[in-house]
Chains A and B, each alone.
Chain A
Amino acid sequence: MRRVNLYHDKRAQWAVYVVFFGILAIIPLSMDDPFTMNQYSRYGVFAMLALSVSLVWGFGGILSLGQGIAFGMAAYGMGATMQMQYQDPVNDPIPSFMLTNELEVLPTIWEPFWHTHLGLILAIGIPVLFFVIFGILMFQARIAGAFVAIMTLAMLGAWYNMAYDMQPYTAGFNGISPPSAFVAFGVEVDPYSNLIYWVSLGVLCVLTLATKALLQTKFGTIVQAIRDDPERARFLGYNVAYYQIVLFALAGLIAALAGLVWVMITQFVSPTSLDIFFSITMVIWAAVGGRMSLFGAIFGAMFINAAQSYVGDEFQATWFIILGAVFIIVVRFAPKGLAGLFEYVFGFIPYRVRGTSGARGDAHSASE
């Protein structure tokens, strides 16, 4: 028997996830307000973004301020897919914003989006591929720390300008607003319905549990080791850059899926999805909730956004002052965020376990 912190008990952690997602899943049954469901679905997307930040920064030690790149790219891919679902190949083959931009034929890069499946594959595949290439560029050269932050930020700024500038292809500042909801397998995903909420929550749930499971594999231990001391890991025989590239791409995948769901919910994509402020805000959610805890990060995203919409528009300035101050305090005094606070409090709860590995016949269970 040995005293441990309940916070670190893996089974207790999984139980919290099951209860958390279980409660969230039945919310629509108790209220029937399409606008609220749309609102809550958005929190799900923000939670996915915080999840991606937590994975890459909290566990991988890579402070990426460019998660919005994957989010925005996927959002544009999804916007194009939904737009082309609305267009008619014979009578109305060209989106109206292109016509106002004097395009007479559909640009080649838009052609694949006639096919919904291909469109979805591209919407996810291109950002992930971009993260792989960008990751190779940075991590092969052993770029680390603040330089990664600056480089991802610059790259994000570059794509923001690109989306803004390529008006005939992206509708520029106005953005693309597909007139009809997304249809998959003959089902219309109405953005104001219980269905959209379950789609958003379902994606979040699958991503969270998959990430949680991933972190419990040896891969998960190794990326955390690399975060703690990349040099040591390298001399143990690990190709550190390879691990960082894979991790960066996985975080990009999560952010890309978030972008995809986002456009389903909002039926709208504009350069704001690539906004620098937005990408840094994701980091704030994860930091306040607890970057070294997946649950903390998604909870942080949901809580902060819920609070923000509760406060209302007229007090936005005051809200951001409070948020900024909280963020400063968290960074200065509590790098593990709210989750760290829980860890601390749970340390006082008397809780004992039998040596877990002993049950499985480990020779050293007696000494644990």
Chain B
Amino acid sequence: MSVHDFWTPFALEPFINALIIGLSLASIWLVAALGLTIIYGTMGVINMAHGEFIMLGAYSAWVMQFFIGIPWLLCLPLSFFIVGGFGWLVERGLIRHLYDRPLDTLLATWGVSLVLVQSVRLIFGGEPQYIDVPDELSTVMNLGFIHIPWMRIFIFFVSLGLVAMTLAILFKTNMGIQIRAVMQNKEMAASFGINSKRVYGLAFAFGAGLAGISGAMFSGLKTIFPDMGLGYVVEAFLVVVTGGGEVLGSLATAGIMGELFSVFSYFTNDTFGRFVLFVLIVIFLRFRPQGIFTPSMARR
């Protein structure tokens, strides 16, 4: 690359393509961040092992398909339960004891992530694995100058579906109402007889399960390898923190971030686009650490 072709001039058709890629990227970040949103929003826990929960979801889908022969589409919900169960264990064994120490939770979950990556490497090896997806999803949709793999369209709609499902669970089910009550005021929820420990456990498991389902889904898009979680976790965090730990906040931020990144990348390139995006987020958090929708809590 030479400096002179660093800047790409504007052209309509590739630009529209870039916007579509941005949407697709946004949906991927959204799915990756959804589980984290529940966990961060409910308990204020920064779960650094979230990327590894995604990785576990991908590997469990791969194991189910490779050793048992379960079709990929069926692996998605199964991964939800496998990783969700695992998350429940992590919450009981570790997170539960660190609720009043948020920084330590961040570090302890980083330790969990280290153990998970290396354990998977030890068991399944470090080489990338592939998964078979239904033929319909492995082709590309051609619409004039627009070319999108069907898999990306699938992920886009599933991500919206998962958001809708999460909102429905949060607002319509008994468990969701309890989660939201604890989110808003732990003491008051306790006085209404809500067992916040149980709610935390369920919320963490639910968030982990969502990570599992997204991992299983990503396995259809890219190869699977032990370190793959790191590729999602930083972006997922930024989505969640910028979104203020709310589902709709994450939805909005993922959309904005995806499009901004895609547009920057269109004019320059991927890595520089990511640089600009990260710097913008740091500056945004400087002025609105409470996130995109939450009213300001600053000194006034």
Contacts and interface: CB of A to CB of B under 8 A. Distances in A.
A137 B286 contact: yes
Interface string A298-324: 000000000000000000111011011
B-side interface mostly: helix
B121 A317 contact: yes
A189 B234 CA distance: 39
Nearest to B98: A332
Interface residues of A, number: 46
- Kindly name the residue among A63, A159, A318, A328 whose own CB sees the greatest number of chain B CB atoms within 10 A: A328
Interface in A161-202: 161-162, 164-165, 167-168
Interface residues of B, number: 46
B70 interface: no
Contacts of B285: 143, 147, 150-151
A155 B115 contact: no
A328 B279 contact: no
B103 A146 contact: yes
Given A154-B238, A154-B282, A146 B275 contact: no
B66 interface: no
B122 A317 contact: yes
A146 B106 contact: yes
A165 B98 CA distance: 39
Given A141-B286, A145-B102, A324-B111, A162 B275 contact: yes
B300 interface: no
A327 B114 CA distance: 10
Given A141-B287, A332-B108, A157 B241 contact: no
Interface in A314-360: 316-318, 320-321, 323-325, 327-328, 331-332, 335
A84 B121 CA distance: 42
Nearest to A136: B286
Contacts, number: 132
B230 interface: yes
Interface string B263-298: 000000101101100110111011101000000001
B287 A158 contact: no
A277 interface: yes
Given A147-B241, A154-B278, A158-B274, A318 B234 contact: no
A323 B281 CA distance: 32
Interface string B14-42: 00000000000000000000000000000
A327 B113 CA distance: 11
Contacts of A145: 102-103
Given A146-B46, A158-B275, A331 B107 contact: yes
Interface in B104-128: 104, 106-108, 110-115, 117-119, 121-122
B28 to A, nearest CB: 17
B282 A327 contact: no
Interface in B209-244: 230, 234, 237-238, 241
A164 B98 CA distance: 37
A92 interface: no
- Kindly name the residue among A137, A142, A157, A320 whose own CB sees the greatest number of chain B CB atoms within 10 A: A157
B21 to A, nearest CB: 18
A153 B234 contact: yes
A155 B1 contact: no
Given A151-B282, A153-B234, A63 B103 contact: yes
B1 A101 contact: yes
B53 to A, nearest CB: 15
B271 A164 contact: yes
A4 interface: no
Nearest to A57: B103
B118 A317 contact: yes
B174 interface: no
Contacts of B269: 165
B94 interface: yes
B68 interface: no
Interface in A122-145: 137-138, 141-143, 145
Contacts of B114: 320-321, 323-324, 327
Contacts of B172: none
A159 B275 CA distance: 7
Given A141-B289, A276-B234, A165 B108 contact: no
Contact of A161 (B106, B117, B275): B275
Nearest to A153: B234
A265 B289 CA distance: 40
B185 interface: no
14 contacts: A63-B103, A141-B287, A141-B289, A142-B299, A145-B103, A150-B241, A154-B237, A161-B272, A161-B278, A284-B110, A321-B118, A324-B113, A327-B111, A328-B111
Interface of B: 1-3, 44, 46, 94, 97-98, 102-104, 106-108, 110-115, 117-119, 121-122, 230, 234, 237-238, 241, 269, 271-272, 274-275, 278-279, 281-283, 285-287, 289, 298-299
The 10 closest A-B pairs by CB, nearest first: A324-B114, A165-B271, A158-B278, A328-B111, A324-B115, A327-B111, A320-B118, A161-B271, A331-B108, A317-B118
Given A327-B114, A328-B94, 15 more contacts: A101-B2, A137-B283, A149-B46, A150-B46, A150-B237, A155-B282, A158-B282, A161-B272, A161-B275, A168-B2, A283-B107, A284-B110, A287-B107, A320-B118, A331-B111
